[in-house]
Structure 1
Amino acid sequence: MSTARSLGYSDQDRLVILNADDFGLCHSANETIMKLLEDGAVSSATIMLPCGWAREAALWSARHPELDIGVHWTMTSEWDAYKWGPVCRTASTDSLVTDEGYFPKDAKSFERQADPAQVKAELIAQVEMSLKLGMKPTHADNHMGSLYGLATGRDFLTPVFEVCAAYGLPFRLPRHLLTETGQLAPPELASIAKQRAEEAESYGVVVLDYLLGLPFAVQPEETYESYRDQFIYMLINLKPGVSEIVLHPMEPSNELDAFHTQSVKRGWELQLLHDPLVLQTIEEQKLIRIGWRELQQLQLAL
């Protein structure tokens, strides 16, 4: 059964979650995402607890428990000028870090070196940090996909499901895998996705029907207009079920430019959320906006 059906919707209803990733990354990111959440321009957000401005984001989230804000499990640290590492202080984290003590720069390095027991301890530590700061997280997802095994085939989903079950958190995992063009993935890959979704459900963890996003970096010859057209095409072609669209909206700033190489694209994603053509498409397509709280309530009721 699809997640949409489990929520009580029909087989034809198209539900969409617009999630702002990277809350807590920096102060300017926080300012942008706070306003988007307050205005209802995004459905939800997830906090990078290891980052320098996570405390500001988490304390603000604690003051706004009505908003859907979760944990953006972070195991990589991709920028050269700005680094972060584990928050776990009760167990060894030596397999999770570089010689400098930071998380590795890319998912492939993390997948090759990380010990599953240490991964699980860090997952718990990040959730516990959110709770100690007063948050009531509604869901969990994963920065840069480092837990999915996409780079080497070595994933950490079993400890993810164990922690999600323990804390009542639905998780960003699609039941049906899509290609970059939005089509269903080849049968072999689709079968793996289905198996992992079934494993999540065996733990009582609620997952998505579909997961979508556009390229993180500016592509050759890409303009805001062409990017918006891609986004609108994605909205028009959403399949029945619960789809999450991953966004990283931020107002470009000197702070962001000091470390981030894609601040222009982050500004485009912010612009999308206020673009009249995008808003018109959501209305014309009769897309149903929901948040992660509905999925969490379903999980807690199971």
Structure 2
Amino acid sequence: MSTALALGYGPQDRLLIVNADDFGLCHSTNLGIERLLVDGVVSSATIMMPCGWAREAALWSARHPHLDVGVHYTFTSEWDAMKWGPVYRGGPTLSLVTAEGYFQRDVKRFERQAAASEVRCELAAQVEMALELGVNVTHADNHMGSLYGLQLGRHFLVEVFEVCAQYGLPFRLPRHLLLESGQVAPPVLAKQAREMAELADSMGVIVLDYLLGLPFRAAPGETYDVMKQQMLGILGNLHPGVTEIILHPSLVTEELTAFHGAPDRRGMEMELFRDPDIRQKLQAEGIIPIRWRDLRNLQRHD
């Protein structure tokens, strides 16, 4: 059964969640995402709890419990000028970090070195930190896809589902895997996605039907119009079921440009779902907006 059917919608209904990733990354990103959440431009956001500005994002979220804010499970630290490491303090985390004590720069090194037991402790610690700061945590997802086994085939989804089941949180995992083009993934990858979704089902964790986003890396000379056309294409080809679209929005400031390699792209993503053409497309396609809170309620049988 699709997640949409489990929520009580029809077999042809197309439901959409728009999530702003990387809340807590820096002050500029926080200000941008807060604005989008308050204005209802995005459905939700997820906080990178290990980051230096996570506390600001979490305390703001605690003051706005009616908005959907989750935990962006973070196990990588990809920029040179700004780094972060584990929040878990109750035991060893050496398999998760470099000699400097920061998370690995890339997913491949994380997959190769991480001990599952340490990953599980860090997952729980990131949720606990958000709860301790007063966040009404609605869901969880994953920064850079580090937990999916995308590089070496070594995933940590069992640990993820254990922690999500413990805290009653749905998780960003697509039941049906699509390529960036929106086409169905090759059979082997599609089968793996279905198997992981079935594992989530067996552990009582609600997952998505589909997961989409703009290409992760910007094309040379990419403009806002190019990005908008890509998003219009995505919205015009949504499949029936629950889809999440991922954004990485931020105000573009000196702070962001000091460490980020493509700051202007994050600024353009701030504007996408404010754009009248995007909003008109959502209406014309009959796409139904929902929230992660709906999935959490389903999981908890609220």
Same fold (TM over 0.5): yes
Distance, in Å, in 1 between the alignment partners of 2:126 and 2:103 is 14
Identity of aligned residues (%): 63
Partner amino acid, structure 2, of 1:66: H
Is structure 2 residue 282 aligned with structure 1 residue 282? yes
What is the number of equivalent residue pairs in this alignment?
A: 302
Q: Which runs of 5+ in 2 are unaligned?
A: none
Normalised by the length of structure 1, the TM-score is 0.99
Is structure 2 residue 76 aligned with structure 1 residue 79? no
Is contact 1:86-1:102 (8 Å) kept? Answer: yes
Distance, in Å, in 1 between the alignment partners of 2:51 and 2:166 is 24
Look up the match of 2:96: 96
Deviations 1:183-209 (A, max 9, x none): 111111111100000000100000000
Look up the match of 1:145: 145
Q: Give the match's secondary structure for 1:273.
A: helix
Distance, in Å, in 2 between the alignment partners of 1:24 and 1:180 is 26
Q: Offset at 1:251?
A: 1.2
Is contact 1:216-1:265 (8 Å) kept? Answer: no
Q: Offset at 1:63?
A: 0.9
Q: How does 1:228-267 map to 2 (within 5 A)?
A: 228-267=228-267
In the TM superposition, structure 1's runs of 4+ consecutive aligned residues that sit over 4 Å from their partners are: none
Q: Offset at 1:238?
A: 0.4
Look up the match of 1:203: 203
Partner amino acid, structure 2, of 1:258: A
Is contact 1:140-1:171 (8 Å) kept? Answer: yes
Is contact 1:124-1:163 (8 Å) kept? Answer: yes
Partner amino acid, structure 2, of 1:20: A
Distance, in Å, in 1 between the alignment partners of 2:186 and 2:68 is 33
Q: Offset at 1:217?
A: 2.8
Q: How does 1:70-219 map to 2 (within 5 A)?
A: 70-219=70-219
Q: Give the match's secondary structure for 2:137.
A: coil
Q: Offset at 1:294?
A: 0.2
Distance, in Å, in 1 between the alignment partners of 2:105 and 2:215 is 18
Distance, in Å, in 1 between the alignment partners of 2:222 and 2:136 is 39
CA RMSD after TM alignment: 0.8
Q: Offset at 1:223?
A: 1.6
Distance, in Å, in 1 between the alignment partners of 2:3 and 2:109 is 33
Q: Which runs of 5+ in 1 are unaligned?
A: none
Q: Offset at 1:221?
A: 3.6
Deviations 1:123-163 (A, max 9, x none): 01000000110112000000000000001100000000000
Is contact 1:217-1:262 (8 Å) kept? Answer: no
Look up the match of 1:34: 34
Distance, in Å, in 2 between the alignment partners of 1:274 and 1:300 is 32
